[in-house]
Amino acid sequence: MRSFYKLERPVETVQFRRTKKTALHHLLVTVAGLAAGLVPISAGAAPGDLYEADGSNTIFKFAPNGTKSTFASGLSGPLGLAFEPTLHQLRNISTRGLVGTGDNVLIGGFILGGNGMVNCALLFRALGPSLTAFGVPGALQDPTLQLFNSSGVVIAFNDNWRDTQQSQIQATGLAPTDDRESAIYATLPAGAYTAIVRGANNTTGVALVEVYNLNGSP
């Protein structure tokens, strides 16, 4: 009967645990062991790769384009294994600035990467009124938020965050504390994007634009 292992810790020391109730068996592969030649490697780990073992004492690597290669060989196990490395990710970016009129807006530009297979869940916020509680003078009292793609097309807009997507935004635990502030929840493919903050009715003041990555912990 095939035994299956799951990834316990996706760091320099990788540990797999047998999930059968009858026994616990640990296979420990360390970077030091790999470097010493105890476990020969023909290709290193990379974002988006999938790793699998089928009982042949070898771990195979499948690249996002479907290419198969040997990742590690000469092992005494595992009999069955499949995992994708957990990657360190940027969780949040933000910037604060003065929002004026016309082209004098607050801009947050960013680029999403990835393996092109899974969209990234993001939350965008434009804060103004709540900054006053943190001692920020001249806060923008009614910010609006626009999201543009790389072609310059507006793909989302929000003025007051409760007006649209209220339940989705609240579910993130990151809803703005003032109803006049703006937020957009979006799932986006890899590419370049721009978030722009303006003041409603040409109002001016200091605002904060933020982007949160919601795709799990790093």
Continuous H helices in the chain = 31-35, 166-171
What average pLDDT does the segment 139-165 reach? 96
Residues 166 and 128 placed together within one structural domain of the fold: yes
Residues 156 and 52 placed together within one structural domain of the fold: no
Q: Name the region of 3 (left: φ>0; alpha: ψ -120 to 50; beta: rest).
A: beta
Among the ranges given (56-65, 69-78, 121-130), the one the predictor scored with the smallest mean pLDDT: 69-78
What is the pLDDT, as a whole number, of residue 70? 81
**Total tally of structural domains belonging to the chain:** 2
What average pLDDT does the segment 33-42 reach? 34
The answer to whether residue 65 scores a pLDDT higher than 70 is yes
Domain boundary among 83, 106, 132: 83
Per-residue pLDDT tens digits for 153-194: 999 999 999 999 999 999 999 999 999 999 999 999 888 999
Dist CA 67 CA 210 (whole Å): 38
In a domain, 166, yes or no: yes
Structural domain for 72, as ranges? 5-83
Instruction: Find out whether 208 and 108 touch, Cβ atoms under 8 Å.
Output: no
The neighbour count for residue 121, using CB atoms within 10 Å, is: 16
Kindly report the backbone phi and psi dihedral angles of residue 167, in degrees, each rounded to the nearest multiple of 5, phi listed first: -65, -40
Domain boundary among 50, 83, 116: 83
What is the pLDDT, as a whole number, of residue 13? 33
What is the pLDDT, as a whole number, of residue 96? 93
CA atoms within 13 Å, Cβ hemisphere of 12: 4
Q: Which residue has the higher pLDDT, 160 or 60?
A: 160
Residues 100 and 73 placed together within one structural domain of the fold: no
In a domain, 218, yes or no: no
Residues 32 and 133 placed together within one structural domain of the fold: no
Bridge partners for 27 per DSSP? 16
Per-residue pLDDT tens digits for 67-80: 888 877 776 655 55
Residues 50 and 120 placed together within one structural domain of the fold: no
Q: What is the DSSP string of 156-214?
A: EEESSGGGSSHHHHHHTT---SSTTSEEEEEEE-SEEEEEEEEEGGG--EEEEEEEEE-
The CATH number for 194's domain is 2.60.120.380
Question: Tokens 């072609």 sit at which residue?
Answer: 151
Q: How much helix, strand and coil, in percent to the nearest 5, is found in the chain?
A: 10, 40, 50
Structure tokens at 168: 């989705």
What is the pLDDT, as a whole number, of residue 83? 56
Rg (CA), the chain: 24
Question: Tokens 């797999």 sit at which residue?
Answer: 16
In a domain, 20, yes or no: yes
Residues 21 and 129 placed together within one structural domain of the fold: no
What is the pLDDT, as a whole number, of residue 58? 77
Residues 39 and 114 placed together within one structural domain of the fold: no
Per-residue pLDDT tens digits for 84-110: 555 556 788 899 999 999 999 999 998
